[in-house]
Homo-oligomer: A and B are copies of this chain.
Amino acid sequence: MIIHLEKDISEERLEKIISEVAKTGFKSNLVTTQFGRYLVGIGKNDMDLRSIGSLEGICDIHRVSDQYKMVSAKWKLGHTAVDLGDGIQVGNRNFQIMAGPCSIESEEQIIHTVEHLKKNNVNIMRGGVFKPRSSPYSFRGLGIEGLKLFHKHCSANGIKIITEVMQVSQIEQMIDYVDIFQVGARNTQNFNLLDALGKVDKPVMIKRGIAGTIDELLYSAEYVFSNGNEKILLCERGIRTFEKAYRNTLDLNAVAILKEKSHLPVIVDPSHGVGIRRFVEPMALAGVMAGADGVIVEIHEEPEKAISDGQQSLTIEEAANLYRNVRSVLKVRRELN
């Protein structure tokens, strides 16, 4: 059950509602976000909403049978658009392409990539500065100084930044230089990180775990939302299976299903989802047809020289072709019945 409260509800009325909810055997969780206040009722028995619904201070009340609540499609009419500022939105008919290198490697690289994105009307640049690496001896990113350079050139050109945050203590360091915090596949169930990202007013994109279920992804989003941050993007990036002909198994079923189960925007990452350059475009296009609200792709001026993920990074020319084709396919999708 989700009780949508009046934003300026008095303490007295709130307590009254909580006490009435308690009588029904439900436990109340008060959620205060950028946009509203909600009481999430967790309980097992069936409940008569009318007894609560007539109390003062309530905008609306919704029965949500899913175990995740705030991120469920069961209570919100329509899809959510996440606002990145400057008129850039993701979700609810706002499709966005995000492109950039796996790792930020140099200022020159940033400058060239920003130019390329501007020329191609791409609004969001990806690039890692804190890199999770299997081996402790691998390159782990340029860190906060890299992020500052990244931000300098993007903000000057109206490009939004998405980059991975790996731990709670980085949030404060990064927050002024980031437009979307990315939670990586290895951190999807790093609940402390999710709690902390729920307490800031910046969009968060959560990648599905390496072998995470669809429901686990929604639970992780619920962590962010229930801590106060409604600005959430979900990302399908391929799952781990027995097949070894490619890097991961891009699960486009999940895209269609997430769009139904949740009101949140869903982004497809075909770069990690297949992991082989020449299949990134068909998978991006397939992702569009499955219903995605955006795609995120890795690009590199010279993929063979990339510090990481070169094998799945598109060249600048391939990337421009992908943008064009993604837009053509999106146009058709919107014209279908």
Contact = CB atoms under 8 A, between A and B. Distances in A.
Contacts of A29: 136-137
A28 to B, nearest CB: 10
A313 B169 CA distance: 36
A283 interface: yes
Identical copies of this chain, number:
4
A135 B67 contact: yes
B290 A283 contact: yes
Contacts of A135: 67-68, 219, 222
Given A252-B283, A282-B289, A286-B289, A328 B324 contact: no
A286 B279 CA distance: 14
A134 B166 contact: no
Interface size range on A against B: 35 or more
B336 A332 contact: no
Contacts of A332: 328-329, 332
A189 B211 CA distance: 13
22 contacts: A29-B136, A29-B137, A136-B191, A136-B222, A137-B226, A167-B190, A186-B190, A187-B189, A210-B211, A215-B245, A239-B243, A239-B249, A241-B241, A243-B251, A245-B257, A252-B252, A252-B283, A257-B279, A260-B279, A286-B287, A286-B289, A289-B289
Interface of A: 27, 29, 40, 42, 67-69, 132-137, 166-169, 186-187, 189-195, 209-216, 219, 222-223, 226-227, 239-246, 249-254, 256-257, 260, 273-274, 278-279, 282-283, 285-291, 321, 324-325, 328-329, 332-333, 335-337
